[in-house]
Amino acid sequence: MAVIRDMIPAFELFQPTTLQDALALLAEYGDEGWALAGGLDSFDWFKDRVKRPTAVVDLAGIESLRGVRPWGDGIEIGAMTTLTDVIENEDVQSRYGLLREAASHVATPQIRNAGTLGGNLCQDTRCWYYRSGWPCYRAGGNTCYASAREAMNREHCVMGARRCVAVNPSDVAPALIALDAQMVIAGRRGERVVDAEDFFIGPAIDITRMTVLKPGEVLTSVRIPPDYAGATFYFEKVRDRQSWDFALAAVATAMVTSGGNIQRARVAVNGVAPYPVRLENVERVVAGRPVSEETAEAGGAVATDGAKPLRHNDYKVALLENLVRRSLRGTEA
Amino acid sequence: MPTLLTAFPDFRQLSDRRGRPWRTSDRPSTPAPGSAHVGQGNGVVRLKVNGDVYEVGVPEHYTLLETLRYGIGLTGSKQGCDKGDCGACTVLADGHPILSCITPVWEAEAFEVRTVEGLADGTRPHPVQDEFDLNGAAQCGFCTPGILCSAVALLDRNQSPTRDEIREALSGNLCRCTGYTKIYDAVEAAAGRLREGAP
Ligand SMILES: Cc1cc2nc3c(=O)[nH]c(=O)nc-3n(C[C@H](O)[C@H](O)[C@H](O)COP(=O)(O)OP(=O)(O)OC[C@H]3O[C@@H](n4cnc5c(N)ncnc54)[C@H](O)[C@@H]3O)c2cc1C
Ligand code: FES
Ligand code: FES
């Protein structure tokens, strides 16, 4: 038999079947605990031995966290629903095509079959200095390697930086922000619900976390209201390869039009900041205007207000402007 | 009836532990003598693989791939990047391709696993395997087990895939040798044979 080189430092594994048990375990272990969903991001960290939790709490056995169900006139999707199940759900396809599009742009079929909606939203940044275990600000150190003079930062952010310049890698996140979704969070002290756009946080709020989730909290579901169901949707992701790759920039736009005019629109982008960004200035500029090339131009022109590119990523500014403009032309993608 | 291949009679009750929270350290820590497992066992995982049931002693941090290769001895699934980046470890979970290198093995108790070893019907290769051979779709062959699994998953639900559907279905499998064209040709040819009723 082959000699095994155990890649992962040992941890204690728990497989609770109820949310209450999971919350109790996570509370017991605090910073030393780790919630496990599909494992795609988690095991990547463990194998690199950069993150070494003492206890891993596997959420896969908790049936109540899985599946798509009606929620008023909208829908509620359990955090442990796989991306493939999200993509293949009839309600998602017929009314929330933006989410379907975004989820089907994630990685590869294999990764979508195992990766969960919650895991995709809670995943950590892919900045390779940080992922390689360098002691940067985000890892609790006192420097940012990616913004150093000689750093390779083509994939890093052009807005929202505060000491850390990593980007949020989720394709699904901007679609949920554009659909005005809500995140349902459970903790030892009960449940709280936050808007999708407030769920993600930047380094100005907490440089070590990507979301508002505190240790011990679990994202249980995502609720999507009917407000933008069946709206005009546009999702586009630009990446170096057509498969597998994370976004260099991605845009998700939902527009409600009537008589050729944009009544209201929500525009969100990712891959350009440490958190997915809702572009409210663009939404304001286009609201009430006719669907036209001029409107799209006007929206695109303000999309990158305040952008500050790094040494190797100024292309992202032009890219973002173009993506936002294209998303506002009223053609679906 | 599936055969139980690696049996630990004393630990049989372990397979009934679903429904209650448990810690791995509550489980027996030494696998039975003669076990196929060579590492330090922290528990016994029960897997359904290619129609057989295996009980294997593994540490809690093991992946499905490590268990298949080093616990059970099914080495068809390849350990390439071991990080989710290449697709060489692709196996089918209830018919859906997943990456076994990054699947916690304890989650695999919930589904039926099919590996490249389970694609043939007895001694008769699956039409995709045949067509890979006839079309020269494998060179070094390292990517082949994973690609065969992705291709079988596609053909199980769609026997008339377009070229684009084939490309999409195989987009999670890297091949560094062939340039993919012959692989797509082989899958297309296999689809044709399946439409004609090939077993
Ligand atoms: C090679 C590769 C390529 C990828 N490409 C893309 C891409 O192009 N676009 C994209 O969007 N994503 C991409 N991903 C990310 C992938 O979609 C996510 O890693 C995956 O969805 C994570 O989900 P998971 O279910 O495996 O979660 P896990 O890896 O198990 O968990 C991820 C993180 O979220 C936490 N977590 C998970 N669920 C919950 C919950 N319910 N409550 C609280 N915390 C939770 C975990 O503690 C962990 O920190 C890629 C991943 C890989 C490995
Ligand atoms: S070995 Fe699993 S994806 Fe490369
Ligand atoms: S045949 Fe060598 S990698 Fe595909």
> Which CATH number do you get for residue B80?
3.10.20.30
Q: How many CB pairs under 8 A join A and B?
A: 113
* Structural domain includes residue B121: no
Contact with chain A for residue B106, Cβ under 8 A: yes
Both tokens of residue B77?
């699934």
* Structural domain includes residue B180: yes
Counting every residue written for chain A, the total comes to: 333
Spans of chain A below 70 pLDDT: 1-7
Sign (positive/negative) of CA torsion A169, A171, A175, A181? negative
Q: Are residues B13 and B86 in the same domain?
A: yes
By the 10 Å C-beta count (0-12 exposed, 13-18 middle, 19+ buried), A90 is classed as: exposed
- Looking at residue B61, its pLDDT comes to 87
Distance from CA of B136 to the nearest CA of A (A): 24
* Structural domain includes residue A38: no
Whole-number Å distance, alpha carbon A44 to ligand 2 midpoint, is 11
* Structural domain includes residue A214: yes
Contact with chain B for residue A226, Cβ under 8 A: no
> E strand or H helix at B164, and its extent?
helix B163-169
- Name the one residue in this structure whose structure tokens are 């936002």: A324
Sign (positive/negative) of CA torsion A198, A203, A205, A209? positive
Distance between CA A40 and CA A43 in Å, rounded?
6
Distance between CA A87 and CA A282 in Å, rounded?
28
Distance between CA A46 and CA A135 in Å, rounded?
17
What's B155's domain CATH number? 1.10.150.120
Distance between CA A22 and CA B185 in Å, rounded?
48
Q: Are residues B68 and B145 in the same domain?
A: no
Range of the domain at B140: 127-194
Closest ligand by atom to B140 CA? 3
Spans of chain B below 50 pLDDT: 1-3, 6-41
A15: nearest CB among B21, B59, B102? B21
Distance between CA B66 and CA B75 in Å, rounded?
9
B87: nearest CB among A14, A60, A110? A110
- Looking at residue B58, its pLDDT comes to 85
Sign (positive/negative) of CA torsion A62, A63, A68, A73? negative
* Structural domain includes residue B83: yes
Domain boundary among B97, B116, B135: B116
Check if the beta carbon of residue B77 is closer than 8 Å to that of residue B146. yes
- Looking at residue A10, its pLDDT comes to 83
Beta strand pairing call for A55-58 and A33-36 = parallel
What's A286's domain CATH number? 3.30.465.10
Q: How large is the ipTM?
A: 0.93
Q: Are residues B75 and B103 in the same domain?
A: yes
Phi-psi region of B34 (alpha: psi -120 to 50; beta: other; left: phi over 0): left
Domains contained in chain A, number: 1
Q: Are residues B56 and B79 in the same domain?
A: yes
Distance between CA A99 and CA A101 in Å, rounded?
5
Domain boundary among B87, B116, B145: B116
Distance between CA B117 and CA B154 in Å, rounded?
17
Output Rg (C-alpha) for chain B, integer angstroms.
Answer: 18
Nearest to A243 by CA among B86, B81, B162, B147: B86
Residues 6+ apart with CB under 8 A from A39: A114, B102, B103, B104, B107
Predicted TM-score (pTM) of the model is 0.92
Q: Are residues B174 and B85 in the same domain?
A: no
Q: Which of A15-35 are b and which e, b meaning 16 or more Cβ less than 10 Å from the residue's Cβ?
A: bbbebebbbbbbeebeeebbb
Check if the beta carbon of residue B56 is closer than 8 Å to that of residue A1. no
Q: Are residues B92 and B155 in the same domain?
A: no
Closest-approach residue (CA) in chain A for B69:
A2
Distance between CA A124 and CA B127 in Å, rounded?
41
Contact with chain A for residue B84, Cβ under 8 A: yes
Domains contained in chain B, number: 2
Q: Are residues B153 and B87 in the same domain?
A: no
Beta strands in B58-124 (DSSP E): 90-93, 96-99, 112-114
